[in-house]
Chain A
Amino acid sequence: MNATIAAITFRAMLGRRRALLLLVLPLLLLTLSVGLRAADVADLEVSAGVLQQFALATLLPLLALIAGTGVIGPEIDDGQIMYVLTKPTPRHVIVFSKLAVAIALVVAFGVVPTLAAGLVLTGNTAGVTAAFTIGVLAAGIAYTSVFVALAVLSRNAVTIGLLYALVWESLLGSVAPGARSASVQQWALSVADAFTDASVVTSTVRLPVAVALLAAVTVVGALLAVMRLRRLPVTSAE
């Protein structure tokens, strides 16, 4: 961890109007939760549905994509990364600092709002809120690691990330069961399933496999980013 890199990254991510964009996402989740609670339709099934479909499947991938690619992608694109790379800082320190910032952002704007939304919706009936908070945290770390790696590997990182999150996980996941099992979302759901007795939370992946895959994806993502950053081709910005 390098405090200076982390501080600069935080400033780049939250400076000016950007914090607003990040803030709008969880606000929508909280608005939805408060609305459902006020309309008195927030039973266990509905709450689990909202937490799964909105918090885990829609909000989290987007947030992780913004945070994960945002911490390093723009710097690589406009060449500013050179000012960091030419300092005697080990490359893995750079990647881990950026990753830590991205995960902190995901926790602040994704995990904490999920917890709050769950508490508003059901309190903690059958442990659903706690389960989803843990699930979202696990998925958030894995997503962020993957997207940081993607941002170092490709200029089209955001689009590729979107294709994965929206097409692979949502579209193909609803058509092809095979694709569903190979997604961060299902693995996180499996983790959430383990922490709650509610029968509405089910996953197609068994827990040990899911945990192993989540950990593997996180580690591989981080390592890939480090390895790629060690020999980053410096091309001019488009």
Chain B
Amino acid sequence: MTTSIIHDIGYRHYEGRRLGRGYVLRSLYVHNLRAAFGLGRPARAKVMPFLLAAIMLLPAVGVVAAVGLAGLDRPPIRYSQYAVSLQVIIAIFLATQAPVLASRELRHRVVPLYFSRPVGHLDFVLAKLAALATALFALMAVPITVMYIGSLVNKMPNASRHLADYLTALLGCVLFALVLAAIGMVVAAFTPRRGFGVAAVIAVYSLSAGFVLIVQGLAEAHTNFTLAGWMGLFTPFNLVDIVQVRLLGAEPSAVAVAPGVLGGLVALLLCGVLVAGSIPVLYRRFRKAGLS
């Protein structure tokens, strides 16, 4: 890539084993994943992610306890409903942690330091996206897993049905994590000022959700359920719920979902566009920041 010449002024050469691209990618991924939960950073940075993760776990533990004590034969919260019901907490987690991964290095202008090493721009961006997606997946999947283990411990009937629902919800969580990570990273990467990134990410979530809810409410009041369903495409949690319902066979959790398999396919396509589209945008952003 570079054509410049490094003159040999007599230092010893490195002739050991090169650890290669995979090692770089893995290191960046692990570093960013740890940063997403504030690990390896002062206690102040750990408070919020772990507090939010604890809030995410609370309902699941409550459900397991309630099922065990009251002897219900199905959990009061469905597995696939969990992320949609607790979307506010997930959104706040995304808003606080996406800037940690995406804007901290931009703010302190240390991005060029990464690229002065054999770190590819694409690897850098992919590692960050994957780390945030993994953190979000863990945030959503751990409570669901607790609920599933609880159902096994409580010996609830229809074990196979539970397993199927649980696996469906896990797939849904993967999609939630990818879509949310893509949106959060892009928004945070363009608002490096401290506090603004958080506010910008939450603004995207909360305003889109508020906007869609009002239009859906009005559309349903005028019995226009088709419009209400399609409006769901414009807010992230409802968008993924459409895929969950129409393609994975879950029961709807959002206010309205787009009709038919077509609705599911369109929603899945939109998810794909969001995730795939975020990569070149982030690539350009960080490459530009790496030059300064």
Contact = CB atoms under 8 A, between A and B. Distances in A.
Interface of A: 17-18, 21, 24-25, 28, 32, 36, 41, 46, 49-50, 53-54, 57-59, 62, 65-66, 69-70, 73-74, 77-78, 151, 155-159, 162-163, 166-167, 170-171, 238
A73 B195 contact: yes
Nearest to B219: A41
B63 interface: no
B110 to A, nearest CB: 13
Given A32-B211, A41-B222, A77-B194, A62 B44 contact: no
B211 A62 contact: no
Candidate in A53, A54, A157, A238 with the most chain B CB atoms within 10 angstroms:
A238
A48 to B, nearest CB: 12
A9 B44 CA distance: 27
B196 A18 contact: yes
Given A69-B199, A171-B88, 5 more contacts: A18-B191, A58-B210, A70-B195, A162-B92, A238-B44
A65 B202 CA distance: 11
Q: For the complex, would chain A's binding face be called helix, strand, loop or mixed by DSSP majority?
A: helix
A46 B222 CA distance: 12
A180 to B, nearest CB: 16
B179 to A, nearest CB: 19
Contacts of A25: 203, 207
A156 B46 CA distance: 11
Given A32-B214, A41-B218, A171-B88, A21 B194 contact: no
A157 B198 CA distance: 11
Interface residues of B, number: 33
A36 B96 contact: no
B18 interface: no
Nearest to B202: A162
B214 A54 contact: yes
B193 interface: yes
Given A166-B88, A238-B45, A53 B210 contact: yes
Given A25-B203, A54-B211, A238-B42, A74 B193 contact: yes
A49 B216 CA distance: 13
A58 B207 contact: yes
Nearest to A36: B218
12 contacts: A17-B191, A18-B191, A21-B199, A49-B214, A58-B206, A70-B196, A74-B194, A77-B194, A155-B44, A166-B88, A167-B89, A171-B88
Nearest to B203: A62
Nearest to B55: A167
Contacts of A159: 48, 92, 95-96, 198
A158 B214 contact: no
Contact of A54 (B47, B190, B196, B210): B210
A166 B196 contact: no
Given A62-B207, A170-B88, A158 B195 contact: yes
A224 B30 CA distance: 41
B199 A50 contact: no
Interface in B270-285: none
A128 B210 CA distance: 20
Nearest to B91: A166
A57 B210 CA distance: 9
A23 B187 CA distance: 16
A131 B223 CA distance: 31
Interface string B180-215: 000000000011011110111011001100110111
A158 B41 contact: no
Contacts of A18: 191, 193, 196
A18 B195 CA distance: 12
A74 B191 CA distance: 13
A59 B96 contact: no
B279 to A, nearest CB: 22
A21 B191 contact: yes
